[in-house]
Amino acid sequence: MNRRLAQGFQGDAAHTDRAPVVAVVALGANLGERAATMAAAIEALRRLPLVDAVRASEPVESVAVKPDGPDASAPSYLNTVALVTTRLAPSVLLAYLHAIETHHGRERRERWGDRTLDLDLIAYGDLRSDDPDLLLPHPRAAERDFVLEPWLSIDPEATLPGAGRVEALLAKLRGDR
């Protein structure tokens, strides 16, 4: 565990009276044993300190998205969304997400490249942040049906802060509006 993560956690441990917040975490994988990796990542989320509950959607299959758009020639993704009820600070939760990715062989060689595991912090309650190290909500979440569809399946009342109801965002993406 790196020093920054350990220090951040210790700071949070002293403030366990922090009210729980529901964080939205998107999980995706297009290399290796995708389903097994994602199941292990969800279990790792459940074992994090100051995490009270984790609910995950059923996985959905999606085409890989590259900087130039969808790429049907790349291995397809398996995606899911987890609602994580936590008292961790968002920056500490994000550091844990990166540690889980690394544990599962994630290498950050190219932007939007193929990966064994991708964990994105989509939202943390209603918090909004423009800090480059912690953009909240995730800046492209409203454009990703592979995030919105599984999220909506486990939270029909879901709202993406600053963008609106997930149901309406997904309908717009699909051309239903």
Catalytic residues: 106, 115, 118, 120
Strand pairing partners for 64?
71
Q: Please, what is the Cα angle at 125 between 162 and 95, to 5 degrees?
A: 110
Neighbours of 73 (CB within 10 A): 8
Contact 96, 118 (CB under 8 A): no
Q: Which run of H or of E encompasses 55? A: strand 51-56
Neighbours of 116 (CB within 10 A): 17
